[in-house]
Amino acid sequence: MTGSRGNRCGRVAGMIATVGPLGHLPLAPGTWGAAAAVVLAPCLASTPMWRVWFGWALVTGVAWWAVDLVLADRRDDDPREVVIDEFVGCGLALSCVPAGWGWWLAAFALFRWLDIRKPSLIGWCDRSLHGATGVIADDVLAGVAAGVSVAGFACVAG
């Protein structure tokens, strides 16, 4: 995957879109893309929330750019190897929950379930939106839904 016309920008976009080698793994590349965000969670746990959300907004913008370039040369609307959307969605979910491996794993699991099952508005985004927006929007929505759900449970559970 080299992106638009095989140029350097396209190659960089391809590496971003696949989160390096993760999108090329033979089994469950989307899960590996999401798991990459879990690896970052401990590093971001002590970072002020506004910086974390600003960072995820920047990453989402870069992801959109990369996916848009990659899709320019493809007929496939959502290539299996493009996993930056799972990375972003899971990262957003993790940013909502309290610090700790239990909460991070719960957010990861719920995000993956929502991303795979695509209920309600998440499914609508997946079916109705196209291009880079279509690839990324359902994962952003699944990530926010997973994060808010797990954070809500954490508040109730104490």
- Write out the DSSP string of 95-113: HHSPSSHHHHHHHHHHHHH
The mean pLDDT value of the chain amounts to: 95
Are the beta carbons of 60 and 136 closer than 8 angstroms? yes
Average pLDDT over residues 119-129: 97
Whether the predicted pLDDT of 3 surpasses 60: no
Q: Is 130 helix (H, G, I), strand (E, B) or coil?
A: coil
pTM of the model: 0.93
* Domains identified in the chain, total number: 1
Average pLDDT over residues 114-132: 97
Q: How far apart are CA 28 and CA 30, in angstroms?
A: 5
Residue 115 sits in which domain range? Answer: 4-157
8-state DSSP, 75: S
User: Mind listing the pLDDT tens digit for each residue in 4-27?
Assistant: 455 888 999 999 999 999 999 999
pLDDT of residue 76: 86
- How many other CB atoms are there within 10 angstroms of residue 33's CB atom? 27
Nearest-CA neighbor of 79 among 8, 140, 2?
Answer: 2
